[in-house]
Amino acid sequence: MEETKRIVTRFAPSPTGKAHAGSYRTAMYAWLFARNQGGKFILRIEDTDTARNSKEAQDDIYEALSWLGIDNDEQYIQSEHLVRHQELLNKLITEDKAYISREEAKDGSGVMKDIIRFRNPNTLVTFVDLIRGPISIDTTDLGDFVIARTINEPLYHLAVVIDDHDERVTHVIRAEEHIANTPRHILLLEAFEWDIPAYAHLPLVLGQDKQKLSKRRNALPMTDYAKVGYLPEAVFNCIAMIGWNPADPGSDQELFTTEELIKRFDFARMQKGGAVFNIEKLNWFNREYIKKLSMQEFWKHAHVWLPVWIENIPSTQEMLKKIEHLFRDHIEKFSDIATLLSADDVSDRGAAEFDYFFMEPIVDEKILVWKTLKDDPDGLEKTKTYLKQVAALLAPLTEETWNYDGIKNVLIEYADQEGKGNVLWPLRVALSGKEKSPDPFEMASILGKDATIRRVLVYI
C-alpha cells in the first residue's frame, strides 16, 4: 500500500517591498491548511530579484508573520539554492529541453545577450484547481519561454519549480494571477519527470475601490497595522474571512479563534471571485476583540499610547481605571487613545475628547447656553441659574449615593421641569468644555463630587 504523503505548503514572498493584506491572506491559508491537515508549513524568501531586494523588506516579512502568529516548520532563502538551480538548468540544456538563445536586449541598447529558453513541447496542460476545478490551457501560445538570464541567473519559473520539488511541497496555494504561470511550471515538472503538486489559486483581495489591493493604491503594509494598535488576532480573523466563510450553514458567526479557523479550514467554501478588504470591517473586528480583553491585557496594549503629560497628573492611574470602559467603547485601535487624550502635551488640547477627566476644562461660554436660549438676551444668566440649582441638588449626595443612578435621580425631575436641554446641556459643557461627550450623569459619577460641583460653580 502506497504511503500517504504528508501535506506540505509554503509561503514564498519576494523581499522587494513591504507586503499588504493580500499577500498575507495567502500565507494564512497555506498555514491554516497545513495545520488543519497535520502537515508542514514552509517559509521561503524568494530573493532572486537582486536589483530590487532589500533587507528591510525581508525583515518586515519576518516581523509580520511573527505578529500574526504564523510560525513555520522550515525556512529557506532561495538564493542559497543557486548551485542546485544551475545543476538542473544545465541538465535541461544537456537534454535539449532548454537552449541558449542569443537575442537583442530589451532595453533598446542594441546589445546582444545570451538567454536561456525552455523548449516548449506545445501540449495541452490540464490541472484540477482546488477552488476552480479543472483548468485546461494550450501552451502553444506561451512559446519557448525564458527560464534564465544566464547560467548563473535562473529566473522565477525555474527556481520556484525546483525549490517546491526539493522541499516536497504537495500543495501550491497562491493568488489567481499565477494561473497563467501554472502551465509553465507543469511543463518544467514534466521535463524533470517530477510529481505535480495540487494547486489552489485564491481569488484576488480587492481594495474598497474594487481594484486589486496594491501598494500603488495605498494598501498598508501588514506591519503598519501593528504600529497603530490593531490586535493581531482581530487582523487574522478579518483577513482570513476575505473570500472564505468558515461559519456553519445558517450561522452569522464572524468571530473565530485561530484554533477554530484551523479546524474549519477547507477550500470548498472559498468564493471564486475577488473579495473586498474593508477597513471599516477590520475596525469592527478590532473593536470586538478589544472588548474581550481582560483589564490587564487591555492596559498592556493601551499604556504605550498614553501621552507623556498624563503621567504628571495626580491620580492618573485611578482615573484611567474609571474611564477604561469609555476607551473600549470609543476606540477602534489603540492609537486612538492618543487622540482621545490629545497628542503630546498639555497645551495641545483642541481635538482631545477625554482630557477633561485629568484637568480642568477650557469652556467657551458661547456654547454653554442651550440652543433654545441662544437668542434670549438673558440666556446666559438663566443658564447660570440652572447650574446653581444643579450644584444645590448635588450637594447633599454622599459618597455612597454619588453614582450614575444617584446623580440622575436628583437631577432628572428638575431637568424635566425646566427643560432637559436647558439644564443638562450646560452641565455637560461645564464638566467637559465640549459639545460632544459622554452624558453628564456618567461624567459626574467619574469625576467625583468635589470636581463636579467645582466645575459647575465656576460659572455662577
Q: pLDDT tens-digit profile of 101-154?
A: 999 877 777 788 899 999 999 999 999 999 999 999 999 999 999 999 999 999
Same domain, 286 and 301: no
Q: How many CA atoms lie within 13 A of 67 on its CB side?
A: 20
Domain assignment present for residue 98? The answer is: no
Domain assignment present for residue 138? The answer is: no
- The sign one gets for the Cα dihedral 147, 151, 156, 161 is positive
Instruction: Give the domain CATH number at 261.
Output: 3.40.50.620
Same domain, 260 and 229: yes
Q: Pick from 292, 308, 328: which residue ends a domain?
A: 292
Same domain, 318 and 390: no
Averaged pLDDT for residues 441-447:
97
Residue 302: its pLDDT value, please? 95
The kind and range of the H/E element at 116 are strand 112-118
Residue 2: its pLDDT value, please? 43
Domain assignment present for residue 299? The answer is: yes
Least confident of 73-77, 216-220, 452-456: 216-220
pTM summary value: 0.90
Q: Which tens digits make up the pLDDT trace of 401-411?
A: 999 999 999 99
Same domain, 372 and 350: no
Averaged pLDDT for residues 4-31:
93
Rounded Cα distance, 116 and 94, in Å = 12
Please check the confidence at residue 449 and state whether its pLDDT lies above 90.
yes
Burial of 154 (0-12, 13-18, 19+ CB in 10 A): buried
Least confident of 119-133, 183-197, 210-224, 329-343: 210-224
Given a contact cutoff of 8 angstroms between Cβ atoms, the answer to whether 103 and 117 are in contact is no
Residue 351: its pLDDT value, please? 54
Q: What single-letter amino acid sits at 285?
A: F
Averaged pLDDT for residues 312-330:
91
Same domain, 68 and 207: yes
Same domain, 58 and 20: yes
Q: Which tens digits make up the pLDDT trace of 175-196?
A: 999 999 999 999 999 999 999 9
Same domain, 255 and 321: no
Average pLDDT, rounded, for the chain: 92
Q: Which of the pair, 208 or 81, is modelled with greater confidence?
A: 81
Same domain, 66 and 210: yes
Q: Which tens digits make up the pLDDT trace of 345-396?
A: 445 545 578 989 998 888 888 899 999 998 899 999 999 999 999 999 999 9
Least confident of 31-45, 71-85, 308-322, 340-354: 340-354
Domain assignment present for residue 10? The answer is: yes
Please check the confidence at residue 319 and state whether its pLDDT lies above 60.
yes
Count the domains in the chain: 3
End-to-end CA distance of the chain: 93
Q: Pick from 357, 387, 405: which residue ends a domain?
A: 357
Q: Pick from 306, 327, 357: which residue ends a domain?
A: 357
Residue 352: its pLDDT value, please? 72
**Parent domain of 320:** 295-357
E-strand spans in 7-54? Answer: 8-11, 40-45
Domain assignment present for residue 440? The answer is: yes
Q: The cell 437631577 sits on which residue?
A: 411
The kind and range of the H/E element at 34 are helix 21-36
Q: In the structure, what pLDDT confidence band is assigned to residue 1 with cuts at 50, 70 and 90?
A: very low
Residue 343: its pLDDT value, please? 45
> How many residues are recorded in the chain?
460
Same domain, 223 and 281: yes
